[in-house]
Amino acid sequence: MRAWLQLFRFPNLFTVPGDAMAGIALAAFLQKTSIPSLPTILISGATALCLYCYGLLLNDLHDYRDDCRFHPERPLPARKLSFFSVTAGMVLMLSAGLVFSATGTGTFFNGLILSGLILVYNVIVKRFLLLGSIVMGLCRGASFLLGIPLASWRAPELYPVLVIAAGLAIYVTAVTCIAKQEDAPAKHGWYIWLPFVMIICMGIILGSCILNTGLPACSYMSALITASIMVWFCGLAGTLYSGLRLLPDCVPAATTRREIGRFIRSLIFYQVAILILFPGTVFPAFMLLMGWPLSQLISRYIYSS
């Protein structure tokens, strides 16, 4: 079981479903339609999670030879899991993700696009620092749009959603650039500040959406807005702290790996800050927020990069 948890980078899995869940809720709000039902939101999150797991297993299968040289302790080189079982798991995750995406109206092609980007990253562009990092960022941005029908992307009222997805893509592109230098002491570039800047930008865009559209009437809406702002600042503080930790001229590899995990876990805060604004999604927002300390705890025992 531990070998599977290592393959799935288990601490990071808590950060994955919230992208699609926040995206579909924000899109419904901007289109002035009812917030999707809880099952619809959960299925959207499950789609993102399954396709993310597919990408992780594909990554380890494709990197087997390199891992034998540089990371012999990982599950496949250490023969803790067989090629057959990991391949079967990859096919199962891909199939489940596409089936889940097909349950939504007009979202099956979103699942195909994301799975295609994952394939391109792992098989073609991963070895190129900048291009590989950009495609990884696009994967996370596509995850945010996963539950929104492709035909709706061109609607003017959804432009803020596309901009937030782009901000998320830039955030993850920067983190991936950092992760490319996780195996040895390194001096990181200016891009360590991109996650911090993107959190600020996404917060400004979300605030503008709220001011222009107006939130639904609710007796405790002021409390939800306050909670959203507080959670957002938690994410901002996390990215600022990680940026400062990576600022020295020679950052130890262990520190780089720790801060990569912190950057990724900080994504939970922006997801919760969006979901908590809508009375119908407060419960999934609370569940995502509970995932942050669990992810923090588990990351002490299972690597997240």
pLDDT tens, position by position, 145-175: 998 988 788 888 899 999 999 999 999 999 9
What's the pLDDT tens digit per position in 248-279?
A: 988 998 899 899 999 999 999 999 999 998 88
pLDDT of residue 105: 67
Query: What pLDDT is stored for residue 216 in this prediction?
Result: 67
Tell me which residue has tokens 């590899």: 253
Report, in angstroms and rounded to the nearest whole number, the Rg of the chain calculated over CA atoms. Answer: 19
Tell me how far apart the alpha carbons of residues 135 and 140 are, in angstroms, rounded to a whole number.
9
Instruction: Give the number of C-alpha atoms closer than 13 A to the C-alpha of residue 202, restricted to the C-beta side.
Output: 33
Type of residue at 245: R
pLDDT attached to residue 217: 65
176-210 pLDDT, tens digit each:
999 988 878 889 999 999 999 999 999 999 988 88
Other Cβ atoms within 10 Å of 222 Cβ, number: 10
- 149 token code pair: 């029908």
Inform me whether the pLDDT recorded for 10 exceeds 80: yes
Q: Would you give the DSSP letter of residue 107? A: -
* Residue 242 clears pLDDT 90, i.e. is over it: yes
The total of other beta-carbon atoms located within 10 Å of residue 217's CB is 7
Contact status, residue 56 vs residue 79, Cβ threshold 8 Å:
no
Residues 210-216: contacts with CB under 8 Å, at least 24 apart: 210/277, 213/29, 213/30, 213/32, 215/29, 215/277, 215/278, 216/278, 216/279
Question: Which distant-in-sequence residues (6+ apart) come within 8 Å of 250 by Cβ?
Answer: 185, 186, 187
Sign of CA dihedral 290, 291, 295, 296: negative
Q: How many residues does the chain have?
A: 305
Residue 69's pLDDT is 82
**Distance in angstroms (rounded) separating the CA atoms of residues 222 and 228:** 10
Residue 202 confidence (pLDDT): 94
Inter-residue contact 257 to 9 (CB < 8 Å): no
Which carries the bigger pLDDT value, residue 78 or residue 105? 78
* Sign of the dihedral defined by the CA atoms of residues 202, 129, 243, 146, in that order: positive
Q: Which of these, 58, 145, 146, lies nearest to 102 by C-alpha position?
A: 146
- Tokens for 297, please give them: 């705890």
The string of pLDDT tens digits covering residues 25-48 is 999 888 888 888 889 999 999 999
